[in-house]
Amino acid sequence: MEKSSRKFLLNLLKTPSPSGNESEYQKVWINEVKGFAVVETDEAGNAIGIVNGEAPFKVLIAGHGDEISMTVTRIDANGFIRFTRSGGINPSVLAGLRVDVFGFGGKISGVVGYKLDRSKEPEAKLSTDDFFVDCGATNADEIKKIVRVGDYILYRGEPEFLMNDRIVGKALDNKTGSFMVAEILRRLSRRKLKVAVFGVSSTGEETNMRGAYFAGARIKPNLAIALDVTFNTDSPGEEAPNRADVKVGGGPALSLGSAVNSRINEIIEKTAKKKKIPIQLELTPDKTSTDADKIHFSGRGVPVALVSLPVRYMHSPIELASMADIDAIIELLVETIAGLTGKENLKPV
């Protein structure tokens, strides 16, 4: 991967994109993609890069750029901020975290405090009600000049690289997917294609998947591939015996299940074999719980596939992935799409 592309990835990871307010992030994505693709937006906040858009056979690739966050619900008399979840926040990782509060009057720093009397019931399930954000204020009026109900709170955490070219940081789910969509478009823009490619940095996946539905309904693709992350099974406590093995560094994870079109999977697997790209298999028996589900049911229906990046510690402030896996997914999708004729029969029967 080129150094400029790595810099772009880090820039995306550092740009806030709470599910419901992804505009600043999308501006960064658009600024990069407009150099090699036609760019459009829609009412859901999606950013869409288009390559060879006049071709009749349309391929949609989507990776969501929004991240899990917390939302301010009230400010108490002492200036402590109470909040609820916007997406899959795990309360067990919150105590003591440093956070940024994106108030209507500006960004301020804070730490997540813990209700001490909660320790009297150690076996009870934690919820966001057990926590609050302390910004150092002495009363409510100090905070209310900057923060109001509905403002977003995000984990604070700079991305960095570890041994073996592993990247760690918050919101790898799924800014890596949005990044890969952009990189796939970049490389496809240099190829002679027989299909139109619509690459979407989608919005709202962590909360209501609004972006995926808007994109599918508007573009009306013949084929769609969602890029997201998936749970690993190669770290302590994750080696469940009833799950398919998915390892960080093991390559792209191709989803198998009811929502996934088997013909698309056959094309992807054939490409992987031809290009000697190792792939892993993950199971999504009923639904994928990704953008693929909403795209699948948009318009008159869209055949979909899901290719996932193995990630450790999902929905925590320290998600971890392999840059080699990211490279492999980009190569796999570039070669798959470049090999399409636009006459593919995607009917399983």
Sequence ranges of the domains in the chain: 3-67+170-338, 69-155
In order of 144, 157, 308, 335, the CA distances from 180 in angstroms are: 39, 21, 11, 14
Q: Is 24 a catalytic residue?
A: no
Q: Tell me: pLDDT of 122 over 80.
A: no
- Mean pLDDT across 92-96: 90
Q: What angle do CA 303, 230, 72 make, to 5 degrees?
A: 100
Give residue 243's pLDDT.
72
Q: Tell me: pLDDT of 13 over 90.
A: yes
Q: How confident is the model at residue 234 (pLDDT cuts 50, 70, 90)?
A: confident
Average pLDDT, the chain: 95
* Residue 49 falls in which region: left (phi positive, over 0), alpha (psi -120 to 50) or beta: beta
Assess whether the region 3-67+170-338 and the region 69-155 belong to the same CATH fold.
no
Full-model pTM? 0.95
User: Which of these is catalytic: 32, 183, 205, 335?
Assistant: 205
Strand, coil or helix: 119: helix
Query: How would CATH label the architecture of 3-67+170-338?
Result: 3-Layer(aba) Sandwich (3.40)
Q: How confident is the model at residue 114 (pLDDT cuts 50, 70, 90)?
A: confident
Topology (CATH level 3) of domain 69-155: Elongation Factor Tu (Ef-tu); domain 3 (2.40.30)
| Between residues 86 and 120, the one the model is more confident about | 86
